Amino acid sequence: MKPLTYYIPNFITLLNLFCGCVAVIFALRGWTGFAGYCIFMAAVCDFFDGLIARLAKAYSEMGKQLDSLADMVSFGVAPGIMLYVEMSRILSPRITMGLDTVGWEFLLFAPFILTLFSALRLAKFNIDARQREGFLGLPTPACALLVASFLMYARTHTALDPYINAWSILGAVLALSVLMVVNLPMPAMKFKGLAWAANTSRYVFLMVCAAILLFTLVAGEALTLAVVLVILSYIVYSLGLYICRFVKK
């Protein structure tokens, strides 16, 4: 009989899925803040199920597949619906359900492109042996956290309203969708001991994160802004590392 610790990672993965389901309900009700917090909790569960599985050596093929299914809901469907609700709020005055607004009606569903590419990203990750030590493309949890954090921050900062429109949302959706499936090496925060030489890029990025957090606290801004800046920095940092390696070659 397998020990109880063997089932703990799967239980935490199911908590991830539960948080994703609740996030979907909150998003459909227009409760952006609550939906965002649920995505954050799902991300915490997603981190700990993998960590505990490694510590307890409780790996299983079922756990791997369950993790992807939970991630699809929490980090694929939930952020897609959050963006859909935001797009609906923006486009509702333009849509009359007549033939003259068909184009706007199609645009209304553009946020689900992010959901489709999240599925592609998760499927690609499951069969790609190159992504054991790092990532190729933006991980779905990072993408979902970026979307949720930005929408949460924007709801409390009306100065951003002029910049949030149907076209900016479409552009963000397309950019994030491409980033999830492109073969851009992105480092994983899995430390190999504490030595600086073996973890230089990770330590540098952690220092960047600490600087962003300090700036946010000093400026009196919401922590959601820190999350947005950290993930954007992660993308830029990965691009910088890739360009440096390309130039050296």
pLDDT tens per residue across span 125-155: 888 777 666 788 899 999 999 999 999 999 8
Given this model, what pLDDT does residue 1 score?
60
Pairwise CA distance, residues 82 & 144, whole Å: 10
| Token pair 């929408």 in the structure block, residue | 151
* pLDDT given at position 180: 94
Residues in the chain: 249
Query: Are 199 and 191 in contact, with CB atoms under 8 Å apart?
Result: yes
Give the pLDDT of residue 235: 92
CA-based torsion, 37, 42, 47, 52: positive or negative: positive
Tokens representing 46 are: 């997603």
- Of 48-52, 53-57, 94-98, the range with the lowest mean pLDDT is 94-98
Distance CA 86, CA 95 (A): 14
Rounded to whole angstroms, the Cα distance separating 26 from 20 reads 10
What pLDDT, on the 0 to 100 scale, is given for residue 60? Answer: 76
Share of the chain above pLDDT 90, in %: 45
pLDDT confidence of residue 143:
95
Q: Is residue 99's pLDDT more than 80? A: no
pLDDT for the residue numbered 119: 94
Under 8 Å between Cβ of 230 and 212: yes
The confidence score (pLDDT) of residue 217 equals: 87
- In this structure, the number of other CB atoms found within 10 A of the CB of residue 44 comes to 15
By mean pLDDT, which of 52-56, 141-145, 187-191 is the weakest? 187-191
- Residue 91's pLDDT is 86
Q: How far is CA 108 from the centre of its chain?
A: 21
Alpha-carbon distances of 35 from 84, 157, 226, rounded to whole Å: 13, 18, 18
**Integer CA distances (angstroms), 151 to 61, 142, 227, in order:** 35, 14, 12
Question: Does residue 193 have a pLDDT over 60?
Answer: no
Encoding tokens for residue 200? 């230089």
Residue whose tokens read 């694929």: 76
pLDDT at site 93: 74
**What is the average pLDDT across 215-227?**
89
Query: What is the reported pTM?
Result: 0.89
